[in-house]
Each structure stands twice: as structure tokens, then as C-alpha cells.
Chain A
Amino acid sequence: MELQLEYFLLLAAALFCIGIYGLINSRNAVRVLMSIELLLNAVNLNLMAFSNYLDADAKGQVFSVFVITIAAAEAAVGLAIVLAIYRNRDTIDMEQFNLLKW
């Protein structure tokens, strides 16, 4: 018995579902950003598992480096947006960011 591809895929699926739960249910805006990081990590784990088990040329690692880069950019811009909203609305409750809600 050795490590199978399915184990990693199941772990990534579990992590993705936990991230979606946090993305929908959290009211703190910073926690929403953390949940997005969880989602990106789950996708990265998928890419890495496929790169190890299905491809001998490490192309999946290239893609996961791209995903890491874009996640860093997303975190920087997202936290800047959270800071700007906090400075304007004086709250970080996601339920009160409803200026564009009809």
C-alpha cells in the first residue's frame, strides 16, 4: 500500500469545501480573504498531485507557482480593499457592505 492519487484529491476536495463554507458564512471581511486562500491552496494541491502522478515533466508545478503568485497579488489587493472599506464604513461586517444591493 502506497500513497495514491485519490488520497490527495480527496484531501483537496475536503479543503475546498471547508473554504467554501467559510467564504459564505463568515461575516468578518478578513476571514473571507482567509477562506479564499484556503480555496487556492486546495486547487494548488490538486495541480501538484496531478503533476506528480500523471505527468513526468513537472508542468503542474509551473502552474501552481503561477497560482501562488496570483494568490499573493489577490491577498494584497483584497486586504487593501478591506482597509479602504473599513476606513469608509467603520465596520468589517460583510452584511453591512450593501450599498449596491437592490
Chain B
Amino acid sequence: MNLAEGVQIVSFGILVATTIAAALGVVLLENIVYSAFLLGGVFISMAGLYLLLNADFVAAAQILVYVGAVNVLIIFAIMLVNKNETFKPMKNPWFRKGATALVCVGLFALLGTMVQSTSWAVLDTIEPIPSTALRLGQHFFSDFLLPFELVSVLLLIAMVGAIILARREFIPDLDAEQEFVFTLPERPREPVGAISDSPDDSDS
């Protein structure tokens, strides 16, 4: 990218700050709607980092796919399962959180020392590819043709699977003449949790 080094450093710092802050907000905030919107912030700042790494096509694809599709899908799922439930407290939550934080900090320290101690064979001159879309297309249709087609089949399978999983079951023989009620013709379902919550009738 043809930017001055100072501009690159400053924009990298801003993007790092927003990414880390938004990711911490995604994980730590109580309200899940805030988490979903902060996740969009993470995706957008990741797209900015891709621009710093001379990958303009993937940055655009990141914004299109993640912010445009995945984030909207997550917000729709939050709306569909919108239930204000107070979770039952676990036995020792601070021990769990502390152990997890310890493991994560240890993993970060391990990765950090690995990154610092490895001597990477960085290229001498990093010159940006003039048109990354052209180069990606050449890769997709020459040496990555089989993975490309497999991924398209996988997307089709995932779409069909998601529709089948999320679809409600309709009652097949519903006589429409009986009474006119404005409800969805849906089979009433017993929640499974009701069985395990009442132990007195479990052995009957």
C-alpha cells in the first residue's frame, strides 16, 4: 500500500485498539445485543487491517460476508431467541473464570514467545500485487479449482441443512374448515426441560 510509514503505524495502532476493545466487549459485556454490534466493529476493523496488508479484495469480501451476512444473521438469531432469563448460578464461577483466564493468558504468552523467537523468512521487498482480484481469480480457476468447487457444494449443503434444522414442523392433515384462527399451524411441542425438572414422575 502506498502510504507513508507514519500513517501506516498510526492507523495500525487505531485498528489494534478498536479490535481488542471490541473483542473484549463481545466477550465480557452482559447485554448480548451490544456484543453483536461490537462484533460488527471487530469485523470492520479486521477489514481495515486487511487493507494494511495489501489485500483489498478480501477486505471487501470480509465486510460483505461478515458484516453484511453473518452479523445480520446473528442479530436475527438474538431477536428470535429473545428471552430475558437469569441463568442459574454455577457452583464456583470465579474459579472457572480465573482458570480460563489463566489458560488464555498462558496461551498468549506461549504464542508471543513463539512469534518473537522464530526467525521468519520475510521477503526483502514487499511490493503489493497490482490487482488482487485478478490474481485470486487465476488461483481459483487453476490450482485451487477443486477446493473452490468443494466449497461451493459445501455452501449449498449448509444452506439446505440450515433450512431443514430451523424449519418448524407443520401438521400435515389440518382441516382448514374448523375455525378461523390467526395462528401458525404448528404442532404444540412439549419442552424437554419440563421432564427433567420434575423428578417425581420420572419413574412412573
**A residues apposed to B, CB below 8 Å:** 1-3, 5-11, 13-22, 24-31, 33-35, 37-38, 41, 44-45, 48-49, 51-59, 61-62, 64-66, 68-77, 79-84, 86-93, 95-96, 99
Give the docked Cα–Cα distance between A58 and B132 (Å): 8
* Complex: chain B residue closest to A50, CB-CB: B120
B contacts with A, residue count (CB < 8 A):
86
Q: Contacts A3-B9, A21-B100, A82-B81: A48 and B66 contacting too (C-beta < 8 A)?
A: no
State the majority secondary structure of interface residues on B: helix
Q: A30-B74, A61-B57 are in contact. List 19 more A-B contacts (CB 8 A).
A: A11-B16, A13-B108, A16-B107, A18-B104, A19-B27, A20-B100, A30-B77, A33-B77, A34-B39, A45-B50, A48-B53, A52-B126, A54-B122, A70-B154, A77-B162, A80-B165, A82-B77, A83-B81, A93-B87
Give the docked Cα–Cα distance between A11 and B12 (Å): 11
Give the docked Cα–Cα distance between A35 and B24 (Å): 10
Contact with A along B185-204 (1 / 0, CB 8 A): 00001011100000000000
